[in-house]
Amino acid sequence: MLFMKYGMRLFIGFFLQSVCLVLSSRTVSGEVPRPNIIWIIVDDMSANFSSYGETSIQTPNVDRLAREGTLFRHAYVTAPVCSPCRSALITGMYQTSIGAQNHRSGRGVEKIHLPEGVEPAPARFKRAGYFTAIGGPLVKGNDFGKTDYNFEWDRAIYDSNDWSGRKPGQPFFMQIQLHGGKYREGKNWAETVRTSLGEATSPSAVELPPYYHRDQVLLEDWANYLDAVRYTDLQVGNVISRLEREGILEQTVICFMTDHGISHARGKQFLYDEGIHVPLIIRGPGIGRGEIRDDLVSHIDLTATTLALAGIEIPKQMQGQNLLASDRPRRDAVFSARDRCDETVEHLRSVRMASFKYIRNGYPDRPHLQPNAYKDAKPIVIRLRELHEKGLLEPLPEQILFAATRPKEELYDLRNDPHEIRNLAGDSSYRATLIEMRQRLDRWIDETGDRGRQPEPQVMYDSDMDVYLGNKLTNQSVILRENIKLMKQWAAQGK
């Protein structure tokens, strides 16, 4: 009887305590609290993480996110360079639809304004009661983390560069910007690797794509890049640890992705998978644990997905989709675009489906590696040009990287040719596939109102070039002026 008497009291007490815990986890209105949202966005990095199959290094913290969340195996950015990609992500719109397709545009006297009804996601989060922040490990004082938006925006959309200033219980939306592949370009990178990671990755462990010459400069650069991946993983671990210390890990959705692929001769700025295929992992409340998704995903889908997780209505005109919606029509294609990068005029469009990719070159009479002050200053490109001039490259990299012209169309069978080496556009046995994908790209261009269909106005180009020339050292200014002159000369020639 005593056991029944006191056992029943214990049971009732435990029950009431459980009810109190449930109630305490709800807001005053009785709703489950909205999750905190963190976007970890990394510069210049492909999916070289062990959870994505990389074997040269280990990335335990990103692997943990994948183990405890959902990994998207086929995620692609809509632009293979920072500013148009980030402009698309923060609005959930194709950069080509909002006029933000040219890299670092709208920075001079000529400005770019968002179309009516389109606004940055932080403004929507803030209006919904979220504390908004953008920062990173290198941010100091009241500075923000990297934004790089190509349109005019109000700094007031962000409350701070860290979530620590929020009110008690207030949910937060935080963008954590990591330098990723750019770290390896720093002067003290070797010391950073030694003190933070221990032993550096050996160049002998590097496996280069088959279209790159196995040269020591390229091997050392790629090894440094892999250490940048390891360092990025360490920083991800620091974010997770902080959330655990503050007791809010399980109330926080963590989204991890990069803004485009590795900065290499066929990666960053280009529409091959090396440039547009990125990692995307989402972990947190309501997210499937240990799931791997094989459907095609566009990086602008992250915007709609996190708005939905926060209980914020997704604007009807937003082109991103909620990846977690059960009734979402899954994409059967993803689209990417590359336009002017710095001073270098370009126009590339691609559509990627389950098995094939189609790329259209708007300037086929120009070489793949057009003159570009930014990329031409990189040791890897300098070395590749040296090998080309000396006739030391194998036929494959010579053909792919240094042909004087490019085909108007490229078609690749990604299942049998993942490195996109054999162009099937001229193969009659793939004629039906070529026509299908050509039409699919045309339809996307029309339906999304691609603003890159017309060349950039000369006044806008000159406005942005004035900014570039004003921010460069003397020797760089000379190269830039020569490249700008060449771009205008080629345009006048119809090239």
DSSP state of 270: S
| Spatial contact of 148 and 12, defined as CB atoms under 8 Å apart | no
Alpha-carbon distance 47 to 256, whole Å?
11
Query: What is the percent of the chain where pLDDT is above 90?
Result: 89
Q: Report, as an integer, the average pLDDT of 191-205.
A: 96
Residue with structure tokens 């195996």? 73
Average pLDDT of the chain is 93
- Separation between Cα atoms, residue 37 and residue 121, nearest integer Å: 12
Kindly indicate the confidence band of residue 473, based on its pLDDT and cuts at 50, 70 and 90.
low
Distances from the Cα of 62 to the Cα of 53, 261, 279, 344, 456, angstroms? 12, 17, 10, 35, 39
Give the pairing type, strands 277-283 and 70-76: antiparallel
9 by DSSP, 3-state: which? helix
pLDDT tens digits, one per residue of 52-105: 999 999 999 999 999 999 999 999 999 999 999 999 999 999 999 999 999 999
Question: What pLDDT does residue 209 have?
Answer: 97
State pLDDT tens for residues 448-468. Answer: 999 999 999 999 999 999 999
Instruction: Report in angstroms the alpha-carbon separations of 421 from 14, 183, 209.
Output: 65, 29, 10
What's the pLDDT band for 16 if we cut at 50, 70, 90? very low
What is the C-alpha radius of gyration for the chain, rounded to an integer number of angstroms? Answer: 24
Q: Which domains does the chain have, with CATH numbers?
A: 28-325+446-492 (3.40.720.10)
Are 77 and 299 within 8 A, CB to CB?
A: yes
Among 17-31, 173-187, 394-408, the minimum mean pLDDT is found in: 17-31
Q: Which residues pair with 174 in a beta bridge?
A: 38, 133
The answer to whether the predicted template modeling score (pTM) of the entire model surpasses 0.85 is yes
Beta-carbon contacts of residue 295 (< 8 Å; ≥ 6 apart): 72, 74, 330, 331
Greatest alpha-carbon span in the chain: 100
- Average pLDDT of the segment spanning 23-36: 58
Question: What amino acid is encoded at 494 in this protein?
Answer: G
**Is the pLDDT at 271 greater than 70, yes or no?**
yes
Residue spans of alpha helices (H) in 145-272: 189-197, 216-245
Encoding tokens for residue 411? 């078609």
In 246-376, which ranges are continuous DSSP H helix?
Answer: 273-276, 301-309, 373-376
State the sign of the Cα–Cα–Cα–Cα dihedral 137, 140, 145, 148. negative
Confidence bin at 18 (pLDDT 50/70/90): very low
Confidence of residue 185 (pLDDT cuts 50, 70, 90): confident
In whole angstroms, give the CA distance from residue 219 to residue 418: 21
Tell me what the mean pLDDT of segment 316-340 comes to. Answer: 95
